[in-house]
Chains A and B, each alone.
Chain A
Amino acid sequence: MSDLEIEQKIIDDCVRCGLCLASCPTYVIKGIETSSPRGRIALLNSVNKGGLKLLDKGVVDQMYECLDCRACEAVCPSGVEYGKLVEAARSQIETAREPEYGPVKRLVRLVTLKGLFAHKNLFYTFGTLMVAYQRSGLQWAVRKSGLLKLLRLSQMEAMLPPVDWPFIKNGKERWQAAGTERYKVNLFTGCIMSTAFADVDRATGRVLSRNGVTVETPGGQWCCGALHIHSGDEEGAKKLARQNIAAFEESGAEFTIVNAAGCGAALKEYSHLLHHDPEWAERAQKFSNKVRDVTEYLGQVGLTETPGSLPLEVTYQEPCHLAHAQRISSQPRRLLQSIPGLKLKEMEEPALCCGSAGVYNIINPPMANALLDRKLDNAVATDAQVICTANPGCHIQLQAGLERRKEPMKVKHIVQLLDEAYNKLPKINRI
């Protein structure tokens, strides 16, 4: 059962001015109204009014052609909450279709949504195997062997990021504020972030600590459920939401810091996800109110010390779920500009989706690749040495694209650059 409804009230908010068109990645690529936010809202309006059916092929296709990047929401003068419409539609589509899933789809959803991303231990085991795969020489051998081509898995395999090691141990790892403790926060360490990008989580801890913030990692937390909600698995998302709310509830820390834009947006929307659940609605609201992206938080509390010099030319790729879903756009830029020696070179269309969008690049490679090409063309045109971003999906997508093009450009998370810059300074002794 899906609690998420395709709310007519949201549809009626749309006055069809069309301002969303130019912001929509799929419309920009295709130039067809049906592939635009306004077009998709019209489809859902027709569904609600009894014209089209939700399971009509063209409707389903559009609900999944959408990247759910929410660029349209950020520019909408009428305040249409488009993301809620698409997510509700997907949830209802999957609820209706579940009995008819074919064996492959059933297996993929079982292994990923209900398996790996739902259970930490499974994910960690899988992650460990990946580390072994990448570091034992097996990956090199498999890539050479032609096996991936044979199994049509090349594109997917190329997306595997180099996995960091060791993984984050929630509950055990903490970073004491260097110098005087100004604040105390919790870190949401995530699934992919705490494994493949464990270095980014640790850099986050170090940068916050350097700025007088003590960082803890409550045990019991796990994946935010964003992938579930984007794939229409509402129940899976709710289960994870409840688990995370419970895990952070006991801590008295004022804020929950997150460094992955997609996770941050999902955590901030737990309040909506559980708003019909009498037992959890209020707890979800409290939880969501405390969530801050790390760039948002650093912008709020300020840096206590100027970072060391990092003579680099950097261009910034705005993650959709930071710029649009969370409307955080100036803080990341200000942080980058606070690093002495670092030169921020703006690319064209910095806030147009890179095509990653969760698992979109696996489901819809032609559109994802068209967007990736456009993004890389814009990034490379700046001649910067580094593309900076703040979300694992974008990070992986950009990295894979650069490797395929054999571009020397590197991809870095903002906190990695800040961390590198602070490492140039002498250490602060604890007081």
Chain B
Amino acid sequence: MAFSPEVIAELKSIVGPDRLLTSREDLVAYSYDATWMESPPQAVVLPKSAQEVSLVLKLANRYKIPLAPRGAGSGLSGGSVPQKGGIALSFTLMNRILEIDTENSVAVVEPGVITFALQKEVEKHGLFYPPDPSSLKQSAIGGNVAENAGGARCLKYGVTSDYVRALEVVLPTGEIFQTGGKMVKIATGYNLRQLFTGAEGTLGVITKITLRLLPLPKFRTTALVPFADVETACIAVTKIMSSGLLPASIELMDTFTMRCVEEYRPVGLPLGAGAMLLFALDGNYQQVIEAETEAVAQICRDAGALEVRVGKSAEENEKLWEARRAVSPSLARLRPNKFGEDISVPRSALPQIVREIGDISKRYNLPIPVFGHAGDGNLHPNILCDRSDPEEMERVRGAAAEIFRAAVRLGGTLSGEHGIGLLKKEFMEEALGAEQLAFQIRLREYFDPNGILNPGKLFPTGKSSW
């Protein structure tokens, strides 16, 4: 159903005719993200300032129009899909890096900046923005903040929220304010910037972000380590992590995922092995880094590594990391669809959880390749399936639920870095408990009394989205 002429006229008066899209073609193109979820908006609005966002929100609030903020639409949980129609609020035209402040080591950016573009730009100043979701070449920093994105380097450096110094947000009721600042310490009032981070666009709309930057490490090594099976690889991870050394990343790929990614871009992955670890160390002193790399290599050998291949050039290493980042989309080469999980467990539970995932895969007769950020306990078991087969999808649902439950039972949680969105909201009560869930729902209602921001997401709504 289309908007009334008044709503269209008001939207047009806010952003002008060129930044309001209502053709059927445009609505199709804004109906999805990187999941299989689909639901078209009634209009797409592309704001260029916080003032415009505020006016759009006031209007949406007045007419009770649902609104879904959107970065690059590369999310893996349905977070930006306009589930209830309404307005898709796209930030692709708010994509300026406003400031790189080298004295305070912060960057001030608009939400539409592509994460990789930000990293390249700050590196020119010898600075470093560590969070590196695998979608870094396409995803927008606004989406990274809204979902509290992670990545491979988070093992050593922490996730997006560890870098958010300040946010400018627009409340659903239209107020604009900044929370936080360029300073290191703040003990003044509630830490709202952390509340908006990871809130999946349900509490307010982010229009400006101030990010902490680090000095860029001068040296970085990468090593590829094949193992006979996933469990042995996971045991090696726990040994590395209790050795006193702290790699920047330790990534895990099983034989399935290696095969898919090797088909996309042959980089010489050890296809004969049951699993591999890819680890990186970084720092400012080459000799130190080389010695630490050898120490980690030795731990791997002692833990049963089939071999250790230390990368010879930065170029070759980057190819390996690019291959690693392509794992998720390349899995579609095996089956038409995938249900990507994002469980996060204490890393001591890693060997146990991969064992259980293996069992679940057998019991439900579904291929479940496993890869992920083993070093920090964040794994991506992907259930490969064909959505056109209802019987199979029932099994997928069962297997997904069991994996979630196993993670929770082992002291972990539902999502480490993708967010809940539409895909996992049914499991929120199990993850949070009834009391906390009720409190979180009340909190949301306080921020957004008319329920216009990303309705139907994050919390269970009684009916499944898939």
Contacts and interface: CB of A to CB of B under 8 A. Distances in A.
Contacts of B92: 31-33
Interface in A1-35: 12-13, 15-22, 31-34
Contact of B328 (A17, A22, A34, A38): A17
A342 B103 CA distance: 40
B135 A19 contact: yes
Interface stretch (A52-60, A351-359, A388-396): A52-60
Question: For A15, A34, A62, A79, which residue has the most chain B Cβ atoms within 10 angstroms?
Answer: A15
> Would you list the 7 A-B pairs with minimal beta carbon distance, nearest first?
A58-B25, A39-B29, A77-B326, A18-B74, A17-B329, A31-B92, A77-B329
A426 interface: no
B114 A22 contact: yes
Interface stretch (B31-39, B159-167, B302-310): B31-39
B72 A42 contact: no
Interface in B372-424: none
Contacts, number: 99
A42 to B, nearest CB: 5
Contacts of A76: 329
A52 B29 CA distance: 12
Interface in B33-82: 33-35, 46, 72-74
A17 B114 CA distance: 14
A46 B28 contact: yes
Contact of A79 (B25, B93, B114, B264): B264
A43 interface: yes
Interface stretch (B285-293, B332-340, B430-438): B332-340
Contacts of B29: 32-34, 36, 38-39, 42-43
**Which bracket fits the contact residues of A?**
20 to 34
Given A17-B328, A33-B92, 16 more contacts: A15-B329, A16-B33, A16-B35, A17-B135, A17-B329, A18-B135, A18-B139, A33-B29, A42-B32, A46-B28, A51-B28, A52-B24, A58-B23, A59-B25, A76-B329, A77-B264
Contacts of B135: 17-19
Contact of B138 (A15, A19, A59): A19
A78 interface: yes
Contacts of B263: 79
B26 interface: yes
B35 to A, nearest CB: 8
A31 B46 contact: yes
Interface in A261-306: none
A183 to B, nearest CB: 27
A42 B28 contact: yes
- Among B24, B116, B328, residue most surrounded by chain A Cβ atoms (within 10 Å): B24
A43 B29 CA distance: 7
Interface string A137-149: 0000000000000
Contact of B332 (A20, A33, A52, A78): A78
Contacts of B330: 77-78
A76 B328 CA distance: 12
B137 interface: yes
A167 B332 CA distance: 49
Q: Chain A CB within 10 Å — which of B23, B24, B29, B73 has the most?
A: B29
Given A15-B329, A22-B137, A77-B326, A56 B34 contact: no
B21 interface: yes
A22 B332 contact: no
Interface in B304-350: 326, 328-330, 332-333, 336, 338
A19 B137 contact: yes
Contact of A18 (B24, B72, B90): B72
A76 B332 CA distance: 11
Contacts of A33: 26, 29-30, 73, 90, 92
A17 B74 contact: yes
B178 interface: no
19 contacts: A15-B329, A16-B73, A18-B73, A18-B139, A19-B329, A22-B114, A33-B26, A33-B90, A34-B29, A34-B30, A42-B32, A43-B29, A51-B28, A58-B23, A58-B24, A58-B25, A77-B261, A77-B326, A78-B333
Contacts of B329: 15, 17, 19, 76-78
A17 B26 CA distance: 18
B95 A31 contact: yes
A20 B329 CA distance: 11
Contacts of A78: 264, 329-330, 332-333
Interface in B1-34: 21, 23-26, 28-34
A36 to B, nearest CB: 8
Interface in B89-114: 90, 92-93, 95, 112, 114
A52 B28 contact: yes
Nearest to B263: A79
Interface string A35-75: 01011001100100001100010110010000000000000
A253 B7 CA distance: 68
B21 A15 contact: no
Nearest to B340: A15
Contacts of A43: 25, 28-29
Nearest to B71: A18
Contacts of A79: 263-264, 333
A17 B25 contact: no
Interface in B251-306: 261, 263-265
B315 to A, nearest CB: 11
Contact of B338 (A15, A22, A32, A34): A15
B72 A62 contact: no
Contacts of A31: 46, 92-93, 95, 112
Contacts of B116: 22
Given A19-B329, A33-B73, A78-B333, A58 B26 contact: yes
A58 B29 CA distance: 11
A42 B27 CA distance: 10
Most chain A CB within a 10 A radius of its CB, from B30, B93, B329: B329
Contacts of B137: 19, 22
Contacts of B28: 42-43, 46, 51-52
Contacts of B261: 77
Nearest to A62: B25
